[in-house]
């Protein structure tokens, strides 16, 4: 899923986190209310559609977390690299549960996901861009992911977290406190105006790339 789902749009953004939210609000809504996402959140998405989404998440997070490990000491990007956030181990557990021990032979990135991954990899030389992709993915998964976890588990009988461990963030402690801390880290970034605008523009692109992945899944599983 895409980034933070907050209740209201700020009217006069002064802090950078508010400015970022305001500038990307419509892109966030386009991803949040996509047909595939609605089916997922309504509990009407078939299990194979959910499984396909988990597989595409795997490729995106493999790229994002590998890049994060390379940028962990960077003064901008490194502020957001936290081991308790890492999703790749949970995605592997979910795919093992959903597809079996030979799951790697049964999944491949779609064209839309390959495009998404290629863009993430390009952020190796653009730490503000890494923050944009990090924000878009993790804040959305922490926020909306808790609801999705319950809906999918109920719809498909995935008890004890099996198949939905991607959405379990127990190591973060209080999720509201985590989100507040994340926004504070955004606000503390020392960015000149060009760098701030690059981060905003890249966040908008990250939403669009994610929406294209969802659209591709929707054509396959929501007809």
- Residue pair 95/102 in contact by the 8 Å Cβ criterion: no
Helices 47-70 and 127-134 pack at an angle, to 10 degrees, of 150
Task: With CA atoms as reference, report the closest residue to 203 among 78, 30, 35, 62.
Answer: 30
26, burial (CB in 10 Å: exposed 0-12, middle 13-18, buried 19+) = exposed
What distance in Å separates the CA atoms of residue 130 and residue 121, rounded to the nearest whole number?
A: 9
Handedness of CA 25, 133, 182, 35 (dihedral sign): positive
28: annotated binding-site residue?
A: yes
Q: Read off the tokens for 201.
A: 């523009």
What distance in Å separates the CA atoms of residue 201 and residue 192, rounded to the nearest whole number?
A: 14
HSE-up of residue 103 (Cα within 13 Å, Cβ side): 18
What distance in Å separates the CA atoms of residue 212 and residue 3, rounded to the nearest whole number?
A: 15
134: annotated binding-site residue?
A: no
Q: Read off the tokens for 162.
A: 């099996």
Q: Which parts are annotated binding residues?
A: 21, 28, 135, 183
Q: Which parts are annotated binding residues for heme b?
A: 21, 28, 135, 183
């Amino acid at each position: 899923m895409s980034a933070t789902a907050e209740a209201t749009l700020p009217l006069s953004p002064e802090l950078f986190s508010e400015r970022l939210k305001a500038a990307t609000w419509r892109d966030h809504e386009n991803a949040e209310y996509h047909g595939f996402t609605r089916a997922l959140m309504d509990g009407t998405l078939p299990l194979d559609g959910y499984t396909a989404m988990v597989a595409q998440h795997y490729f995106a997070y493999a790229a994002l977390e590998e890049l994060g490990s390379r940028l962990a000491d960077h003064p901008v990007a490194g502020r957001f690299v936290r081991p308790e956030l890492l999703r790749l181990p949970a995605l592997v557990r979910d795919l093992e549960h959903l597809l079996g021990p030979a799951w790697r032979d049964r999944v491949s990135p779609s064209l839309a996901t390959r495009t998404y991954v290629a863009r993430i990899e390009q952020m190796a030389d653009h730490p503000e861009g890494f923050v944009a992709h990090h924000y878009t993915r993790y804040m959305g998964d922490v926020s909306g992911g808790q609801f999705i976890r319950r809906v999918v588990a109920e719809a498909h009988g995935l008890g004890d977290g099996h198949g939905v461990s991607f959405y379990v963030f127990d190591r973060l402690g209080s999720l509201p406190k985590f989100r507040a801390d994340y926004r504070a880290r955004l606000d503390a970034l020392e960015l000149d105006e060009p760098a701030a605008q690059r981060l905003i523009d890249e966040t908008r692109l990250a939403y669009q790339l994610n929406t294209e992945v969802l659209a591709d899944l929707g054509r396959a599983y929501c007809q």
